[in-house]
Structure 1
Amino acid sequence: MRKLIVSLLFSCFTTFIFSQGKPAYKLFNAKGNKVSYNKMIKTMNKADVVLFGEHHNNPIIHWLQFETTKDLFQKRKLILGAEMLEADNQKVLDDYLAGNIDEKALDTLARLWNNYKTDYQPLVDFAKNNQLKFIATNIPRRYASKVFRGGFEVLENLTSEEKSWIAPLPIKYDKTLPGYVKMKEMMGGHGGENLPKAQAIKDATMGYFITKNRTNKSLFIHYNGSYHSDNYEGIYWYLKELNNEIKIVTITVVEQENIKKLKKEELKRADFIIVVPKTMTKTY
């Protein structure tokens, strides 16, 4: 019995030392000050919308998304939504959540991302198991491709049903927003003015479906690529355009070689900044 107790104590001690010496992430606020996970949860709990920005292939972020969702569910009524599911798949998603179709049928009928099973199915199944709404917020990608080729004008030719899967026309657009300007510069001008417009139609549509489906008594948690909400732009900008009084908490992720201190250039990127090691394993 004594050997068992000693063994357990040694295991706990070495686990503690390892976790302190090799943390998987560090959490900072917009000013670069270290904050606790519980502080982040308390702040999220006071919001109307949480925009949980991610790197799509980072396992730590997907784990934190699930853990924060689970912990906030203990405090608030939740509505979940994600960039990774497109608006025209909402009916199929609702059928899955209601138990009318199984996982195989969902995979067949909906356009699921390649990493859906490992990274997003746990969130969808959490909604299913707890009778929560899960909103497919993104524009069908074929319409974003149309905008890239022909600008916002091509959307006028969509049918009434197709228009129900995107933000209402005309699309409000500010080409001077730094994120859209930077996107154009990074591509060296390739894609012209329509490249950031293709990004904007995604942001506008996600903002629209978040606004349409949220309620005053619920917290809407939205999972999206960090570039869709970094620097309080993208989805955040469109949400504020629709309702300037809405309380939004943003989260982003950055990769650094040294995660103990947030780099200056990453300050004010979001309300909470999750720093993960550059060597962190990727899911794809």
Structure 2
Amino acid sequence: MAVGMRAVLPILLLLLLGGCAGIRQQPLGNPESPYPPPRPPEIGDVLHLPTGIYVGREQMLAAVTDARIVYVGETHDNPASHRLQLDILRAMAERWPGQVSLGMEMFTPAQQEVLDDWVAGRLDEKTFLKRSRWFRTWSMDFGLYRDLLELAREKKIPIRGLNADKKLVSQVGRKNLDQLPAEARQSLPKMDLNDPYQTALVKAIFGGHSAGKAMLEGFQRVQTLWDETMAASIADWLARPGNERMRMVVVAGGNHVRNGFGIPRRVFRRLPTSYVLVGSHEIEVPEERKDRLMNVRVPAFPMPPFDYLLYTRYEIHDRDRVKLGVILADDDGRVVVGSVVPGSNADRAGLRQGDVILRIGGQPVKESFDLVYEISRLEAGDERTLDIERQGERLQIDVRFEKRRKK
């Protein structure tokens, strides 16, 4: 028997060293979580998905800062996601002072001058939001991003706008690439529309949509445009002369980062360099946030979604957010009330269609942005006086801002 084994062992070793595995079988376990964690996750846990080992937050930060690029996938409206981004950017800046940049999905290259002025300290918050057209281009609550942007300014961390221009996105969503105007085609990054995993994800989201094949193909073109544009922006920045030691924290929606086939692989195609994927997952969701979860059966992909996953609570940041309740129009330097929402704060205060809003809380209102900005800073229970003009007469109206009422 021993002689037989001695004869067989060299053959087995040759097979192993040669990489011959015989007939390929289905992978063992779950490729997205190859090592199941030893216990169910709790809020605040950080799981290293490739090994199934829970690590401390500081251990995670020490590990991810080894990489040149740290991709952080966010849930846009969950403050817990943004605290994770903040911790990672701070850890990167402390470990690599002067060698870290911040790439953001929320801005485009066209806004780069504004971002540079912000980091240089030449803009206050209101001017920054106005010049970047925040409420039109991204529209999420700026308070979710304020700490991250203020840290970048404090540490002089360059911020790079990554995303595609909205006009180009609209064109790509409506037409095949070969049908675009010449100028639009020339502005496209190199587009890989054949990634099987992204195709599967898009089909999972839109496959059953009543608009059918045209909408599915349009969304896939748009998703690819977003990912390829952001990837090109990242690679171009890091490959610039003088940026050989530059690192980057990239913040983007989870679907752009998860499983690595969105932005990360497309960056690596252009610029092979080290990277790590970090994400978060809500395991406690309040009733008023459940409608924001996508009811989509996502395909099982053959790789972990992230290297590190933070388990969080879906926190509610806008419970006390308020609105005035009007439709506005800018008319030759005047902000005019186009209509008043019945039952709104404006309605209860007596604001009428045709009123011209001159000031709010003593602050001049020269365009709609001025009013939107001031109201964005208020919470339920706050009161402000509106100076208005009504049919040539100057009036003051006191408004008590109550939170939005559910129908």
TM, length-normalised to structure 2: 0.56
Q: CA deviation at 1:87?
A: 1.8
Of residues 21, 26, 45, the one that matches 1:26 is 45
Unaligned residue ranges in structure 2 (runs of 5+) = 1-40, 286-299, 319-407
- 2:168–2:184 CA contact under 8 A, matched in 1: no
The one-letter code sitting in structure 2 at the alignment partner of 1:238 is R
SS state at 2:112 partner: helix
Instruction: Output the amino acid matched with 1:91.
Output: E
* Corresponding position of 1:150: 175
Is the Cα contact below 8 Å between 1:180 and 1:196 reproduced in 2?
yes
The residue number in structure 2 matching 1:107 is: 129
1:33-112 equivalences under 5 Å are: 33-76=53-96, 77-112=99-134
Aligned length: 248
SS at match of 2:172: helix
Point out the more displaced range, 32-41 or 43-52. 32-41
| Distance of aligned partners of 1:208 and 1:226 in 2 relative to their CA distance in 1, 3 Å threshold | same
Q: Is residue 24–residue 60 contact of structure 1 (8 Å, CA) maintained in 2? A: no
1:218 aligns with 2:249: no
- Secondary structure at the residue paired with 2:304? coil
Structure 2 match to 1:271: 307
Q: Distance in 1 between matches of 2:77 and 2:104?
A: 15
Q: Is the 8 A contact 2:169 2:225 kept in 1?
A: yes
How many Å separate the matches in 2 of 1:269 and 1:152? Answer: 30
User: What is the distance in 1 between the residues matched to 2:196 and 2:248?
Assistant: 25
Amino acid at match of 1:49: I
The amino acid across from 1:61 in the alignment is S
In structure 2, do the counterparts of structure 1 residues 248 and 225 end up closer, same or farther at CA, with 3 Å as the change threshold?
same
Measure the CA separation in 1 of the matches of 2:49 and 2:179: 39
What is the Cα deviation at residue 257 of structure 1?
A: 4.8
Residue 120 of structure 1: aligned partner:
145
One-letter identity of the residue aligned with 1:237? R
For residues 218-254 of structure 1, the C-alpha deviation after alignment (integer angstroms, 9 at most, x for no partner) is 22001000100111110012111102x3101011222
| From 216, 233, 240, the counterpart of 1:209 | 233
In proportion to residue count, which structure has more helix? Answer: 1
Distance apart, 1:30 and its partner CA:
1.9
Whole-Å Cα distance in 2 between the matches of residues 257 and 99 of structure 1? 39
In structure 2, the residue matched to 1:138 is: 163
SS at match of 1:173: coil
2:280 maps to amino acid: V
Is the 2:191–2:225 contact (alpha carbons within 8 Å) kept by the matching residues of 1? no
Following the alignment from structure 2 to structure 1, what is the Cα–Cα distance between the partners of residues 101 and 92?
11
User: Which of these two proteins has the greater Rg computed from alpha carbons?
Assistant: 2
Go from structure 1 to structure 2 and tell me whether the alpha carbon gap of 1:210 and 1:281 turns closer, same or farther (over 3 Å shift): same
Cα distance in 2 for partners of 1:276, 1:131 equals 30
| Contact 1:184-1:195 within 8 A present in 2 as well | no
CA separation in 1, counterparts of 2:63 and 2:53? 15
How far apart are 1:42 and its partner, in Å? 1.9
Higher relative contact order, structure no. (Cα contacts within 8 Å, ≥ 6 residues apart):
1
1:184 deviation in Å?
Answer: 2.6
Give the CA deviation at 1:155. Answer: 5.3
Letter in 2 for 1:252: G
**Bigger mean CA offset, 210-219 vs 195-204:** 210-219
Q: Is the 8 A contact 2:119 2:152 kept in 1?
A: yes
CA displacement, residues 104-144 of structure 1 (integer Å, 9 cap, x when unaligned):
22211213233352111221221112112100111122211
Please tell me the root mean square deviation across aligned C-alpha atoms, in Å.
2.5
User: Bigger CA drift: 201-210 or 190-199?
Assistant: 190-199
CA distance in 2, matches of 1:53, 1:159: 29
Any idea what SS the aligned residue of 1:74 has? helix
Tell me which of 296, 301, 316 is aligned to 1:282: 316
Q: Which residue of 2 aligns with 1:238?
A: 266
